[in-house]
Structure 1
């Protein structure tokens, strides 16, 4: 285990021990606020009941996100309602899915969709994941073999995506996406899954696994708070910019028409 000390501490604060954990897929669940506070800063409604599971709803009420540890198998459920050409969709992620990977998907729900065609495999290939094509499905596996992303085509031709991570002791998580899940969201998930960046966990929250590598770091509470606040501030700024852009667009109005029997024309 490596040890590292952060510089630039101010007086009167006591450093706390944390660990940088890699690979991130085996880091354990983490702090739910990494997901929920970002969504709240983006204007999502907190529908949670006191003492109950986490429940968030998008501003347009088309997407709901929940985390429920009180049921089996428990974990995250993300549900998108049908809209226009988009069918209803679901994603389910196990309770030990790291919040940083969950946020890869949930953060993408708050941003405009890219004009580029999504490619779920591209982030994995960039990190040297191995592709293993087989009859009816293709699986990409992380270099250390602990995480995977699988595409499976069923007999009816529908595409199913399945992912997860597991150590040699059998500890881990899985994630499932319905065939109708928007591909840009699956790509956002695979990007977060494949990221080589370690994630931080406090003392006592590091999983016991021979397959993880840890670096001990001493962190001031003010530093940790500043990092968390930076993520929230960025979410608020992006949301404000999008709302300002929408409100500045000129509104279209109906042209006056000659008589009540005439056809209405719009600009």
Structure 2
């Protein structure tokens, strides 16, 4: 990291994404809440959304503790499935999942192509190794893992942790029948090498030691609109 002194509100760019922290989780809520036809109900402590058909529900618990589900997405159609994201899960993969969900909430799991699924991980430098009946994929820094267990209740389990550091631990899980395009939208965003924007005080405390951080450019100030010109001809006054 070569940023110089940073204040809490300073904007920074962070990579890899699995070390970036959640940022503002409410932005993921907006990814679905603005969709026409979804039912939305909010309370001071939670938010609930339901698809137009009523068989896909999202529950957002902003008070969820680290490592506990903050987002729970449940589909109760002919092939039920569930996805959960804990507090500290980076918001970008969650938003990618939500945007795909609002287009394909009624989908079901299709035939799974393991080789195609692994390829983006291998390209990003993740290590693949068998773990009994499961496949374990580990990030180059060894802090983030994905365990893919065919025919288990939880088919995909992500876990991220930096030496039990407060703020860095997060989990994301998808049951076996979660539509693969939803899982892939989450993984594609997580593996994206493009740095993500955070405030300095949003980043887990050990991320500067193990991740890449640079100061973000200051936002361009908006130019005020020109002052209105007078419509009263010169020399004439009311």
Gaps of at least 5 residues in structure 1 are 5-15, 224-267
TM score, norm. by length of structure 2: 0.75
- Measured in 1, the distance between the counterparts of 2:23 and 2:89 equals 8
Structure 2 residue 16 is the aligned partner of structure 1 residue 19: no
Give the corresponding residue for 1:121.
Answer: 118
- Structure 2: which 5+ runs fail to align? 223-238
Aligned position for 1:2: 2
| Aligned length in residues | 206
The answer as to 2:127 corresponding to 1:135 is: no
Matched, 1:202 2:202: no
CA distances 1:223-267 after superposition (whole Å, capped 9, x unpaired): 8xxxxxxxxxxxxxxxxxxxxxxxxxxxxxxxxxxxxxxxxxxxx
Q: Is the 8 A contact 2:33 2:40 kept in 1?
A: no
Change (3 A) 1:214 1:74: same
* Counterparts in 2 of 1:161 and 1:197: CA distance versus 1, 3 Å: same
Paired residue for 2:87, among 95, 116, 136? 95
**1:161 aligned to 156, 160, 164, which one?**
156
Once the 2 structures are TM-superposed, how far is the Cα of residue 23 of structure 1 from its aligned partner?
A: 1.4
Q: Does 1:60 align with 2:57?
A: no
Contact 1:149/1:190 (CA < 8 Å) preserved in 2? Answer: no
**Separation (CA, whole Å) in 1 of partners of 2:183 and 2:135:** 15
TM-score (norm 1): 0.67
Report the Cα offset of residue 89 of structure 1.
0.8
**Alpha-carbon distance, 1:36 to partner:** 2.0
Alpha-carbon contact 2:18-2:144 (below 8 Å) kept: yes
**What residue number does 2:211 align with?**
212
Which stretch has the larger CA shift, 162-171 or 208-217? 162-171
Distance in 2 separating the partners of 1:150 and 1:63: 25
Could you say what the CA RMSD is over the residues aligned between the two structures, in angstroms?
A: 2.8
| Structure 1: distance between partners of 2:153 and 2:86 | 23
The 1:35–1:158 alpha-carbon spacing in structure 2 relative to 1, beyond 3 Å, is closer
* Equivalent residue runs for 1:63-82 within 5 Å: 63-72=56-65, 73-82=68-77
Partner residue, 1:149: 146
Aligned twin of 1:254: none
